[in-house]
Amino acid sequence: MRALNVNGYRSVGIDFAERTVDAIRRAMPALNVHVGDVRALPIEDNTLDGYISAGVIEHFWHGYHDILAEMQRALRPGGVLFLSFPYVSPLRRWKLSWQSYPTATHRSYRNIPQDFYQFALPVNRVLRDLEGLGFTRLELCLVDGIKGVKDEVAVTKSLLQAIYDGRRGTHLRPWLDKMLKSFGAHSVLLVMKKTR
């Protein structure tokens, strides 16, 4: 938000974590940050020129559809959405085929598991859901190949962690990240335009 403000954009931030919002307000009182729920934004219909959602939709156990609907409602026609989330990369898809992850689905649980943090989401499903809400894809960018592979392939973890942290092989990082993104990127960034 601060970068947006410094570059002349008016922005508003929403987070449900009261302590986080309080900390931001103390550190940067000029920022317009509020406690709120991304599934019920305190924003009028068709008013935002842009919406940035960086690593949010994957944390909702019961799905992201209400969040996408709110994005669509709040953005004006022609508005642009920047949406990032961990995705089911080719590496994760391969691991799924080998049943490398727990097999229980969220439907198996009556309550949200205490250790639940996030899902990796299938990018084609999220794209289809956004297109169904009247968005058109402008860009799809794979993000963070080193993190994606180090988190999923145990044998690479210590070496890739050192590169990721900047403790070793910093000259290799851009090349290695680009190479690993194609099959093991951690996240995807979708840039979408609201067309209806």
> Each residue of 99-135: pLDDT tens digit?
888 755 555 667 788 888 999 999 999 999 999 999 9
What is the rounded CA–CA span in Å between residue 118 and residue 137? 24
Q: How many CB atoms lie within 10 A of CB 110?
A: 5
* Mean pLDDT, residues 5-22: 93
pLDDT in tens, 81-104: 999 999 999 999 999 999 888 755
The domains of the chain are located at 37-194
Evaluate if residue 51 carries a pLDDT over 80.
yes
Count Cβ atoms within 10 A of the Cβ of residue 149 and give its class: 0-12 exposed, 13-18 middle, 19 or more buried.
buried
Supply angle C-alpha 118, 124, 126, rounded to 5.
Answer: 50
Whether the pLDDT of residue 160 is over 70: the answer is yes
Q: From the CB of residue 38, how many other CB atoms can be counted at a distance below 10 Å?
A: 20
Q: What is the pLDDT of residue 109?
A: 67
| 22 has a pLDDT exceeding 80 | yes
Q: What is the pLDDT of residue 106?
A: 55
Is 3.40.50.150 the CATH number for 37-194?
A: yes
